[in-house]
Chain A
């Protein structure tokens, strides 16, 4: 298994500000992804965090709003920029280990953001 640590675990932010969420995995992983989960809703894929290159974003998500970094095989950050109340959600980091990226997808505990 993989242990994924995220911080902050929760935060209350003001409209118009930006917040960076950090994700640390306890060992090298092949794939890292960022998801958003609004209360009582499903997990929506924001982007794939690619090591040493630009993230791959899903439809409806753009780099200017959700810049992502992945400098190495165990660490990634997601920034939520110019926040509005609609960005209030739980943001989950996930990782997959295995040759060619096969196998179980593990999740961090999530970062619960509230935007006022």
Chain B
């Protein structure tokens, strides 16, 4: 099955700085890569996703990049705010073939005011 690794496990940044979280995956057939944000005691919620036919996607302060050859993808958060503090999970999935989503180990992001 798919193996998704995620780094770092914890990340602290000053408010206004950027944060970068990196993931690698093992299954070259994975073609959909979402990122989820989970606040304490809450359900995971999708913040951005990217498909394998795209190299980069941006949504306001959040961007995701994908390198299919190297099988890694990254989440970039610019101008961080205290409300960005949460645990972030990357995931990989083969859409249209099983569709199972496999998650990384998570990154606990703390934005220091």
A, B co-complexed:
yes
A residues bordering B, Cβ < 8 Å?
30-31, 33, 41-45, 48, 56, 58-59, 92, 94, 96, 100-102, 104-105, 107-110
Nearest A residue to B99 via CB reads A101
Q: Can you pick out 6 interface pairs between chain A and chain B where the beta carbons lie within 8 Å of each other?
A: A42-B89, A42-B104, A42-B106, A45-B101, A45-B102, A45-B103
Nearest-neighbour CB distance to chain B for A21, whole angstroms, equals 14
Where the two chains meet, the residues of B that have a C-beta atom closer than 8 Å to any C-beta of A are: 1, 32, 34, 42-46, 49, 89, 91, 93, 95-96, 98-106
Residues of chain A within 8 A (CB-CB) of B103 are 42-45
Which residues on the B side are within 8 Å of A42 (C-beta)? 89, 103-106
CA distance A109 to B34 in the complex (A): 19
- Given the interface pairs A100-B95, A107-B43, the reply to whether A41 lies near B106 with Cβ below 8 Å is yes
CB pair B99 A31 closer than 8 Å: yes
In the bound assembly, the distance between CA atoms of A100 and B99 in angstroms comes to 9
Q: How far is the CB of B57 from chain A (nearest CB, A)?
A: 14
B105: nearest chain-A partner, CB-CB: A42
Identify 11 new A-B residue pairs, CB closer than 8 A, beyond the known A101-B96, A102-B32: A41-B106, A45-B101, A45-B102, A92-B43, A94-B101, A96-B99, A101-B95, A101-B99, A102-B96, A104-B49, A105-B34
